[in-house]
Structure 1
Amino acid sequence: MNPAAQYLITQTHSFWHHHYNVSTEENTHLFHVVNSSHLTFHRSADSNGPIAGMCKFRHFSSDCKIGLSDPEQPSKINWEYLHKQGFIKRTYWFRIQLEDGTKQTYTWKRTHSLGTGSEKYKLVEETSLTVVAVFSSSDRAFSQTTGHLDIYLPLGPRLNLIVLISGLAVVEGERRLTRTTQGGGAAGGGGMLGQDLKFR
């Protein structure tokens, strides 16, 4: 199946942090993602542009808040929640209202049969069990490429952005957890202590 939308996620480094850039597969830049204690998506090549959305990793909670800027009120953020389930086989789900007024639940879960790389996740729409998207990460040790996101259904700009933010939030959250459990003192690009990161 040919994807309806494709995103390439690459890393960019400053002295203390690694951040992300998001582009199309044709190298059209879409977002610069500041990776500190949270993930903030800017519609620009750096952190000076307008905020399109963000993910807030919540203290003392297994959930994550995903917010999109209101087009009519750019300073206002409309929030959704990305919930974590399980401890060994972790899944992450969110429930949102679609444009037709119905509500739908989507779940990120690991996959071995789809995508490429060492970290592979599929997004499943729970009513029909349709695979909506696949996030494939690079397993090349020195590659700047973090991953590829393929979205297989025409979801529209709002849901596309939620899928992108939630997918990168799952990958970043899992990597912070791995660094913490392997004995790294600081988790994530912002130097936040691992025990403070409750998005597990």
Structure 2
Amino acid sequence: MDPVAQYLITHSFWRHNYDVSTTNKTHLFHVANSSFTPGKADLTFHRSPDSNGPIAGVCKFRHFSSDCEIGLGDSAQPNRMDWEYLHKQGFMKRIYWFRMQLDDGTKQTFTWKRTHSLGSGSENHKLVEETSQTVVAVFSSGGIFSKTTGYLDIYSNLGPRFSLMALISGIALIEKGRRARQASGGAASGGGGGGGGGGC
């Protein structure tokens, strides 16, 4: 099965910020990562090589919860943003789901699940459309010592809003896991190794 779109996600040296490009190196988004600024989104997706360009979407990690709020559109025009919600299923499971309206007007539910049979990395996730149980995207992790965070392959042409939602929610899961590892053992071990799925 060939993907209809492929994205390469890289991170800066200290894994503060992310960049998204096509596999032929066309830059698409710079993702500004903010952990400590009150009122600022945890992840802000800019359509530019830095944080000065127009905003395509944002992700806010809910405090005291594993859920996320994802805004599609420019946060400078809040009345024109579409808000979607990424929910964690259960307490122990690392399964996340969201329900969104697609560009054709239909609403569908999608679930991120860990997978060992798909993807090319050591910690991979598949995005499943719940009604048909079709795999619509796969996020493959990069190496521990690599600048590459991972690759997102999209297999269903469900429109640009869905592609952006899949990209934002996929990177959100990776960043939540990174923060959980850093919080639980980063000071002692340098923040490496293992798969986390905790909240912020």
Q: TM-score range by the shorter chain?
A: 0.7 to 0.9
Question: Moved runs in structure 1, 4+ residues, more than 6 A?
Answer: none
Shift of 1:67: 0.5
Q: Cα RMSD over matched residues?
A: 2.1
Which of residues 119, 122, 126 is equivalent to 1:122?
126
- What residue identity is the alignment partner of 2:159? G
Residues 128 and 74 (structure 1), Cα distance of their counterparts in 2 relative to 1, 3 Å cut: same
Q: For structure 2, which runs of at least 5 residues remain unmatched after alignment? A: 36-41, 192-197
User: In 2, distance between residues paired with 1:74 and 1:153?
Assistant: 30
Task: Find out whether 1:110 has 2:114 as its counterpart.
Answer: yes
Shift of 1:102: 2.3
The residue aligned with 1:167 is 170
Q: Is 53-62 or 120-129 further displaced after alignment?
A: 53-62
- What residue identity is the alignment partner of 2:22? T
In 1, are the aligned partners of 2:69 and 2:85 still within 8 Å (CA)?
yes
- What residue identity is the alignment partner of 1:20? Y
User: In 1, distance between residues paired with 2:115 and 2:183?
Assistant: 23
Shift of 1:101: 2.8
Q: For structure 1, which runs of at least 5 residues remain unmatched after alignment? A: 189-197
The residue aligned with 2:67 is 63
The residue aligned with 1:22 is 20
| Aligned positions of 1:41-60 closer than 5 A | 41-60=45-64
In 1, are the aligned partners of 2:103 and 2:159 still within 8 Å (CA)?
no
Residues 79 and 184 (structure 1), Cα distance of their counterparts in 2 relative to 1, 3 Å cut: farther
Shift of 1:183: 5.2
- Normalising by the residue count of structure 1, what TM-score does the alignment of the two structures yield? 0.85
Shift of 1:78: 1.8
- Of all paired residues, the percent bearing the same amino acid is 67
User: In 1, distance between residues paired with 2:92 and 2:7?
Assistant: 28
User: In 2, distance between residues paired with 1:24 and 1:180?
Assistant: 32
Of Structure 1 and Structure 2, the greater strand share is in 1
Residues 61 and 100 (structure 1), Cα distance of their counterparts in 2 relative to 1, 3 Å cut: same
Residues 144 and 183 (structure 1), Cα distance of their counterparts in 2 relative to 1, 3 Å cut: closer
Which secondary structure state, in structure 2, belongs to the residue aligned with residue 18 of structure 1? Answer: coil
Q: How many correspondences in the alignment?
A: 185
- Normalising by the residue count of structure 2, what TM-score does the alignment of the two structures yield? 0.85
Residues 29 and 119 (structure 1), Cα distance of their counterparts in 2 relative to 1, 3 Å cut: same
Structure number with the bigger relative contact order (C-alpha 8 A, sep ≥ 6) is 1
